[in-house]
Amino acid sequence: MDTPVSPTVACIGGGQLGRMLGLAALPLGIRMEFVDPVVGAPAGEIGPLHIGELDERGVIRPLLERATVVTYEWEGVPADIVSWIEEQRRPPVYPPAAALRASQDRLYEKTLFRQLDVGTPDFLPVDSFADLEDAVAVLGAPAVLKTRRGGYDGKGQHVLRVPADAPVAWAALGGVPLILEAFVPFDRELSVLAVRGRDGSTECWPVVENHHSEGMLRRSNAPAPGLTPELQAAAVAIATRMLDELLYVGVLAIELFDVGGRLLANEMAPRVHNSGHWTIEGAVTSQFENHVRAILGWPLGSTETRGVSTMLNCIGVMPAPADILAVPGAHLHDYGKTPRHARKLGHVTVVADDADTLHDRVDRVLAVLPADG
Ligand code: AMP
């Protein structure tokens, strides 16, 4: 019998998501290597870090020779490099370039959702000030003007409270392709994470509830409080339609608005996602482990929960480890990044058997979690 060769996963991007993928891969005997332009990027402590632009063929080409499979950990990775790797045919790269491309343009993304019968906020493309005036006339106000490409963490957006805000919004964002969306008076923000294997098998974690401020995710509650089987089924249906349409392999996250129990899709991320960090301790199989299992063609692990969880991001400043670890059920993750205002430096996941205990533990963690300076 041949000795099985331990697989190597090449990951484009070496941020905290790459680092957590690498941490999940290690016990499975998988080596990971990373490409990132930043010396000292967080994943470099886990596996070899090759410094280069994320689409630098000279850096990526040698990796293709030893990698079993290629993946990426950021939706800003140039889609052309993923297409180029797909064209090489070996090794495979997942998720597919088509998913990355769709996620990089809000107009394509929302059009794809609609084509698959997934509800979205109403939207219109805007390429000129006249388009914006026409779109406001159709969609009304309030509305959200967004850049089609490149926006993240709430950047590249402007809310029009009234139609007369159009010139200010145009002055702020005009000049690049835009999209105007009707403002959705949602009850809460949710996300669904799903994973699809190379054989088409699919698993979904329970829908989680997300709290943002200043455009950044602060907290995820898993499962979303009051999650009904109907809501979970609706989210699973959305995720499954997207995964199957895109012949997707790996973890996909879809951000949703809950409007009176109806789900509208806001955006998708073709990668492991911040709102899935709770799965490391709060689920039987984490999003990171299932992503590597999926891309290697291995069986997927159960996405069932282990109790109830809350994930709190550490933004701008890290807490003292001992303060967090003094709280039962609290797990600290430090990404090893230099502190900077509005930067995600780590997270804390708090796990408990029941909602009341979780609540008490989260309060204790919040009391020692420093505010961003
Ligand atoms: P995005 O970059 O599209 O994820 O938007 C960032 C945040 O802005 C979302 O998490 C929502 O809180 C808010 N937002 C985005 N689009 C809309 C919309 N059409 N209606 C209401 N709020 C929105």
Best of 144, 209, 254 for a ligand 1 pocket test (most atoms within 8 Å of beta carbon): 144
* pTM > 0.95: yes
Ligand 1 atom closest to the CA of 182, numbered from 1: 19
Strand 178-182's sheet: what is its strand order?
A: 123-126, 178-182, 143-147, 157-160
Cβ of 258 below 6 Å from ligand 1: no
Q: Are 101 and 84 in contact (CB under 8 A)?
A: no
Please return the burial class of 299, using the count of CB atoms within 10 Å of its CB with bins 0-12, 13-18 and 19+: exposed
How high is the pLDDT of residue 2? 58
Q: Are 344 and 314 in contact (CB under 8 A)?
A: yes
How high is the pLDDT of residue 5? 76
Q: Which residue, by CA, sits nearest to atom 5 of ligand 1?
A: 154
Q: Are 86 and 246 in contact (CB under 8 A)?
A: no
What are the tokens at 19?
């680092």
121 C-alpha to ligand 1 centroid (Å): 10
Best of 266, 267, 273, 274 for a ligand 1 pocket test (most atoms within 8 Å of beta carbon): 266
85 C-alpha to ligand 1 centroid (Å): 33
How high is the pLDDT of residue 372? 87
Ligand 1 atom closest to the CA of 183, numbered from 1: 20
Q: Which residue, by CA, sits nearest to atom 8 of ligand 1?
A: 154
Ramachandran class of 195: left when φ > 0, alpha when ψ lies in -120 to 50, beta otherwise? beta
Ligand 1 atom closest to the CA of 184, numbered from 1: 20
Burial of 216-242, coded b for 16+ CB within 10 Å and e otherwise, reads: bbebbbbbbeebeeebbebbbbbbbbb
Per-residue tens of pLDDT for the chain, all 373 residues: 556 678 999 999 999 999 999 999 999 999 999 999 999 999 999 999 999 999 999 999 999 999 999 999 999 999 999 999 999 989 999 999 999 999 999 999 999 999 999 999 999 999 999 999 999 999 999 999 999 998 766 678 999 999 999 999 999 998 899 999 999 999 999 999 999 999 999 999 999 999 999 889 999 999 999 999 999 999 999 999 999 999 999 999 999 999 999 999 999 999 999 999 999 999 999 999 999 999 999 999 999 999 999 999 999 999 999 999 999 999 999 999 999 999 999 999 999 999 999 999 999 999 999 998 6
Domains observed in the chain: 8-93 (3.40.50.20), 122-182 (3.30.1490.20), 188-368 (3.30.470.20)
How high is the pLDDT of residue 318? 97
